[in-house]
Structure 1
Amino acid sequence: MITKKTVKDIELRDKRVIMRVDFNVPMKEGAVQDDTRIRAALPTINHVLEQAPRYLILMSHLGDPKKDAAKAKEKAEKAGEEFDEQKFLDGKCRMKPVAEYLAGLLGRPVKLAPSAIGPEVASMVSALGPAEVLMLENTRFHREETSKDPAEREKMAKELAAFADVYINDAFGTAHRAHASTETIARFVPVAVAGFLMEKEVRYLGQTVSSPQKPFVLVLGGAKVSSKIGVITNLLNKVDAILIGGGMAYTFLKARGLPVGRSMVETEMIPTAAEILKKAAEAKVEIFLPEDHIAVPEFSNEAMIHAIPKDSFPDDLMGVDIGAKTLAEYKDVLSRAKTVIWNGPMGVFEMPNFATGTKEIAKALAEIDAITVVGGGDSVSALKQTGLESKMTHVSTGGGASLEFLELGHLPGIDALNDK
């Protein structure tokens, strides 16, 4: 259970409240494409407003303006197209459409500040009426938000903290970052607590790992072994089986001396993969790797599909999904599981012809009588394609955050909050 104070533990009436939310949602031409993260914060926002606070300030990042604009400009220049940075930022990184969308969900006005800090923002805050809501502009328009220099982060955090008596962190998706608005601010506000979403994430992810019902199965996919090493290492002595798919499977298969054709392999990670396989055998944890593959000669949804066994992988093909035999074996293991954590797709699910493995794993999890926790951005995206989110015990809103929490058991943004 969460050891930090939550919004249920404090008095909010007449308090000045500032809340970090994770409204880093997909945008297209200034319109919200997926409101999952916005809706996930509603229970905490509504709870605060029901307590009659002095006011409520919301802050979030939305993309990374500087980096995103640089990438978009480079892409436009390569295509010989003109790049309008202002238009790009308005369509992708400004909080205005998010504030308007939230106002619709809340059924009340949400004011918008021109920036996250500064004299103009301070004036707007001082003019707020009882229980009014103000959305600050994207925190990442200020370099201090993500600065590696603690003094710069503190400068911004102190300005934000001056607006509030209470700080609430309900942004699990950014809790792994020690940024000004996610971690540093907690040191300068009298009261710093977790919101309902943060509490829920910690409860499900933490309890699942600390006291799982057995058999406990970990399903891992995605492109790289390197991004999952910490999770595997931390859970190796807790799980009963690990099912591996996605691009990372080919590094493990290579470590076993099996052919993988032109499939993605992290060559530098082969020794690490071999060591994990050895440790798993010593711990009597069975690691399942694909027995067959869906492979193609080129990275295209229209490419000719080949179904091939693991021990005769042609040199000119690359793996893009798990095969039918593998899927049957993985489903069999999952049918007996009582606790499952799934992180990462089984193949290139973005392309319809290579999404079968991922979708079938989602269906298998929806049908079993077990605690099922899905974490990681790609896993959640794949799950949404199947429409089976409601069939899972818990679907995490944090991609990198859920991975780091499974690996470390704590995160900077959580550590900074007040203990119970």
Structure 2
Amino acid sequence: MSEFKTFDDLDPSGKTCLVRVDLNVPMADGKVTDTTRIDRILPTIRELSDKGAKTVLLAHFGRPNGQIVPDMSLKQVVPALTHAVGKPIAFAADCVGTTAEQAIAGLMPGDIILLENTRFHPGEEKNDPELARDMAKLGDVYVNDAFSAAHRAHVSTEGLAHLLPAYAGRTMQAELEALSAGLGNPVAPVMAIVGGAKVSSKLDLLQNLMTKVDMLVIGGGMANTFLAAMGKDVGKSLCEHDLADTARHIMDTAAENQCEIILPVDAVIAREFKAHAENENVSVDDVPADAMMLDVGPKTIALISTKLDQTKTLVWNGPLGAFEMEPFDSATVATAQHAGKLTEAGKLISVAGGGDTVSAMNHAGVGNQLSYISTAGGAFLEWMEGKPLPGVDALKAA
């Protein structure tokens, strides 16, 4: 891909590289509880260090709103980062100014340092030009390896790319290549699976996908709104009845764009919203008034699987049912495993991402089978919605 520069275009030896990474990791009792985001940035950090760069890591943590909040110091991430990288990581108590300059001056080629939370400065989220100039003074080149923050136009995600030679890190590169394969220049036919609770939170997404994909599978609570709009009784199921007109409009627009919408034909219903609640399978035409649909049924799973067999590219956002509770995870798990098998057989390009989707794919055991799973929640969703991502656009402009 020639839209942006990668490490293939960079000799980092002897250079000071400012690298924007995502270290906004979950913590409990002062320890990192999930190292997924740290693991994702290791290829970039190791390659720069091995090639003799001084690697200066920039990141945010939490929402300190331009204030110095000790609980949101990145210093607490250093032990987990050191362990993952396998070599010492220095730390500087500021990300600009004398403190940062002196710490970086003391580095040897191959050394790595993490600077303090960029959001401790009010100018970071305002993309303040003065802060950007002060930060740019610290390095020779800028590397963005934080796709998950690319939907924000901040100093460390966008501003620096205009002031220094700018490159995509290995994780950013992998993400952008996967996304291009998913919706940018996909191999047809393309299927999108969109699940989740509410249509209202995915309107922009549905509008964009209808013009880009051949098949659109709608699951989760969202599907109930569409079924109700078609005149079906959804009982006590989660449903946005006030969006019936919107749902009908989406279906009409999809038809105009030759996009086939696939809705559940059967459902697993229960009277209680809890794991292992007494349940049964019924047609979507026969949902009792006192019951709620908590997953799509076996006929729908079979239908989706058949359609998947005809698909070359799959983009997935959101579970098909209440996957956090057994047995209402069945459809999500079965469909994910089928997609995983097709991907491993070389028959499918599969890209999944956004919030619950990562948990659902890991729960289904397909974390390593799909072509790409994006850990970027908001940025992945905005990309699926067809919105510009300032951090990516800045790299392309550079």
So what's the TM-score if we normalise by structure 1? Answer: 0.86
Correspondence 1:200 to 2:178: no
Partner SS state of residue 235, structure 2 = coil
The whole-number CA distance in structure 2 between the counterparts of 1:113 and 1:352 is: 46
The whole-number CA distance in structure 2 between the counterparts of 1:7 and 1:274 is: 47
Out of 139, 149, 164, which is 2:118 matched to? 139
Sort the Cα spacing of 1:269 and 1:123 in 2 relative to 1 into closer, same or farther, 3 A: farther
Offset at 1:414?
0.9
Partner SS state of residue 135, structure 1 = strand
Sort the Cα spacing of 1:63 and 1:356 in 2 relative to 1 into closer, same or farther, 3 A: farther
The whole-number CA distance in structure 1 between the counterparts of 2:261 and 2:91 is: 51
Tell me which amino acid in the other structure corresponds to 1:161: A
Deviations 1:317-369 (A, max 9, x none): 33322122211211121122221111111122222332222111111101222
Correspondence 1:157 to 2:115: no
- The correspondence of residues 177-188 of structure 1 with structure 2, limited to 5 A, is 177-188=152-163
Tell me which amino acid in the other structure corresponds to 2:141: V
Deviates more, 1:204-213 or 1:379-388: 204-213
The whole-number CA distance in structure 1 between the counterparts of 2:180 and 2:2 is: 8
Q: Is the 8 A contact 1:7 1:168 kept in 2?
A: no
2:43 is matched with 43
1:82 is matched with none
Q: Is the 8 A contact 1:2 1:203 kept in 2?
A: no
1:73 is matched with none
Partner SS state of residue 56, structure 1 = strand
Out of 213, 217, 221, which is 1:239 matched to? 213
Deviations 1:223-274 (A, max 9, x none): 2223333333223233221111112112222222222223223345332221
Offset at 1:378?
1.3
Sort the Cα spacing of 1:352 and 1:119 in 2 relative to 1 into closer, same or farther, 3 A: farther
Correspondence 1:13 to 2:13: yes
Tell me which amino acid in the other structure corresponds to 1:329: L
2:308 is matched with 334
Please tell me the root mean square deviation across aligned C-alpha atoms, in Å. Answer: 2.4
Q: Is the 8 A contact 1:95 1:137 kept in 2?
A: yes
- The correspondence of residues 283-362 of structure 1 with structure 2, limited to 5 A, is 283-301=257-275, 303-362=277-336
Offset at 1:289?
0.8
Deviations 1:123-143 (A, max 9, x none): 323333333211123333444
Tell me which amino acid in the other structure corresponds to 2:79: E
The whole-number CA distance in structure 2 between the counterparts of 1:300 and 1:195 is: 43
Deviations 1:46-92 (A, max 9, x none): 22112212x2111222333569xxxxxxxxxxxxxxxxx97xx3xxx
Tell me which amino acid in the other structure corresponds to 2:84: L
Partner SS state of residue 134, structure 1 = strand
1:70 is matched with none
- The correspondence of residues 20-419 of structure 1 with structure 2, limited to 5 A, is 20-53=20-53, 55-65=54-64, 89=71, 93-147=72-126, 150=127, 153-188=128-163, 190-301=164-275, 303-368=277-342, 369-408=347-386, 410-417=388-395, 419=397
Identity percentage of aligned residues: 40
Deviates more, 1:389-398 or 1:292-301: 292-301
**Please, which runs of 5 or more residues in structure 2 have no aligned partner?**
none
Partner SS state of residue 235, structure 1 = helix
Q: Is the 8 A contact 2:182 2:350 kept in 1?
A: no
Q: Is the 8 A contact 1:5 1:419 kept in 2?
A: no
The whole-number CA distance in structure 2 between the counterparts of 1:99 and 1:56 is: 14
Partner SS state of residue 198, structure 2 = coil
Offset at 1:2?
4.9
Tell me which amino acid in the other structure corresponds to 2:372: H
Offset at 1:3?
0.2
Q: Is the 8 A contact 1:245 1:322 kept in 2?
A: yes
1:79 is matched with none
Deviations 1:139-175 (A, max 9, x none): 334443334xx5xx33433332221111100101111
Deviations 1:82-127 (A, max 9, x none): xxx97xx3xxx44334322222222211012224345433332333
The whole-number CA distance in structure 2 between the counterparts of 1:346 and 1:141 is: 39
Partner SS state of residue 341, structure 1 = strand
Deviates more, 1:300-309 or 1:317-326: 300-309
Partner SS state of residue 159, structure 1 = helix
The whole-number CA distance in structure 1 between the counterparts of 2:108 and 2:378 is: 37
Deviations 1:371-391 (A, max 9, x none): 111122211111112221221
Offset at 1:302?
5.1
Partner SS state of residue 200, structure 2 = coil
Offset at 1:219?
0.9
Q: Is the 8 A contact 1:320 1:347 kept in 2?
A: yes
Deviations 1:24-55 (A, max 9, x none): 223222222222221221121122112212x2
The whole-number CA distance in structure 2 between the counterparts of 1:114 and 1:47 is: 25
Partner SS state of residue 201, structure 2 = coil
Tell me which amino acid in the other structure corresponds to 1:324: P
Tell me which amino acid in the other structure corresponds to 2:232: L
Sort the Cα spacing of 1:96 and 1:386 in 2 relative to 1 into closer, same or farther, 3 A: farther
Deviations 1:175-232 (A, max 9, x none): 11112211122223x2111111111111121133243323221111112223333333
After the TM superposition, which parts of structure 1 deviate over 4 Å for at least 4 consecutive aligned residues?
A: none
